Chains A and B, each alone.
Chain A
């Protein structure tokens, strides 16, 4: 039980990651796949941030009376990772819009069927 309670942030990370991966693999809707991808990325944010926070820790500014500080580096790293994630999501959504314009659908199987038709070798 203590392994479960003491490391609950890791368990949430794992659950989020597996959920995202499942959506990515199991769903044929291009938009839902992007959502799955975002959930996987979010789980990584948690993986970095959670261990960096100490109970009772303050912002890392040297001041009298404070001895325990949270580690600022993972927070900064994840700020960067969030920016990368947003850029990826934006590009993914743009591609989905273009795919819908070109095919009239965003279901993977229908797209494959549409392209199978005009193979034209």
Chain B
């Protein structure tokens, strides 16, 4: 049984989805989703420890040995991503019941759970598979499910947002397949480890560089790399609360994982970073994202859109680490997959509770007036998570920025350090707008007295806020695991 854990990691949520559709009951759907989410967390933690103790785990699907069959491979990086995704899922699942019941009609609720399970299966599959084409299939499973999740939003704009997300996402996936196709033509293999070995012996570099370009742009669309992020703000703003929290915390992060995997373990790092100005491009785009998207967030009135733009900026931090490209900066990048996931997940979970009490899908800054008295715990949680976005010491966000700054200083790129600090200051500005509205403005007339979000939703949100603080103090898993993964990625360089 234990040796089949890598397969079960994906099969459990994948099998749960059709069962939920067959059962047609919202209650069963919620129970199954929660059970699957927790089982996935147990499996991924167990795999992570197994990798830490005994090295990478390889699992041959259908007993066909790699490179002929599809290989599931868990190493320090994929193990870390698996834990990050299933950890988020284990907070979102208990939250889902009240949130979905409030936002969707009875007859559509179980379908939302089914889509969520499919999305989870796809994301875990991307992280665990060692096969380039299998990765594409999982990418599309998770993406198609997330288009539906977005489209289930209450406002009709959710449909348009989902459509735009679908067009951009499909172009991204198609570009990725083109890249993989070119690599397959050059190497004759789809197994990622095998491909890396054979690519080193390929003489004609031009198709490989074209493949690199297609994969970069394709995955860049999926992970909302500035300026390919246009789909993200509307998709996050109009999706149901639970979908926003889950997608913001996981979907873009897993795409970053794909990029890391291809850059550092498949393409021989030398041609990637030496033959093309990849480093410069990534640093330039990341800095633009960190500064410009944060500035847009300062002037945004819809709170969900505000945090969506903040996500674009935070993804900038993650890709900045790829551009700076040393042990410290990559540790920062990988740790931020988890740290930002936890922070943004917490924020969107709490916003879901606020939207529920306001009785509308839209939460504007003005509607937050007096929140500190009406929903004191929610407001406090938002502020703490906001501090983590800014990068206050004692929160998860600080750990990331610390490593990124150390990485930039090692390279002697002081202007990058300045950009990180500038972006943090702009983050102070948009978080302050929330604090100002919540604590300093009087509540609107006729607003209800103290009325917190339902207990299950509030607890899930606050538990995630607690994680933000926890990862700010105990970095054995977050930064420690990320450092292991960064070492694994950079081994190819030496």
Contact = CB atoms under 8 A, between A and B. Distances in A.
Interface of A: 21, 24, 30, 33, 37, 40-41, 44, 47-48, 51, 73-74, 77, 80-81, 84, 87-88, 91-92, 95-96, 98-99, 102-103, 111, 115, 121
Contacts, number: 68
Interface stretch (B30-38, B55-63, B151-159): B151-159
A44 B184 CA distance: 13
Contacts of A40: 171, 174
Interface SS of chain B: helix, strand, loop or mixed?
Answer: helix
A47 B262 CA distance: 21
Given A37-B170, A44-B174, A74-B184, A115 B144 contact: no
A84 B169 CA distance: 13
B163 A24 contact: no
Contact of A95 (B151, B157, B177, B184): B151
B58 to A, nearest CB: 21
B368 to A, nearest CB: 14
B151 A47 contact: no
A95 B156 contact: no
30 contacts: A30-B163, A37-B174, A41-B170, A44-B177, A44-B178, A47-B178, A47-B181, A48-B181, A48-B184, A51-B185, A74-B184, A80-B133, A80-B137, A81-B177, A84-B136, A84-B140, A84-B173, A87-B144, A91-B144, A91-B147, A92-B163, A92-B166, A95-B147, A95-B163, A95-B166, A98-B159, A102-B159, A103-B156, A115-B160, A121-B364
Nearest to A111: B160
B399 interface: no
Contacts of B137: 80, 84
B159 A88 contact: no
Nearest to A84: B140
Contacts of B301: 121
Contact of B167 (A37, A98, A121): A37
A91 B184 contact: no
A103 B72 CA distance: 45
Interface of B: 133, 136-137, 140, 144, 147-148, 151, 156-157, 159-160, 162-163, 166-167, 170-171, 173-174, 177-178, 181, 184-185, 190, 301, 364
Given A37-B167, A95-B147, 9 more contacts: A30-B163, A40-B171, A41-B170, A44-B177, A88-B144, A91-B144, A91-B148, A99-B159, A115-B157
A98 B171 contact: no
B166 A88 contact: yes
B265 to A, nearest CB: 21
Contacts of B185: 51
Interface SS of chain A: helix, strand, loop or mixed?
Answer: helix
Contacts of A41: 170, 174
A12 to B, nearest CB: 15
Nearest to B165: A95
Contacts of A111: 160
A96 B151 CA distance: 11
Nearest to A103: B156
A95 B162 CA distance: 8
A113 B178 CA distance: 36
A84 B147 CA distance: 14
A81 B181 CA distance: 12
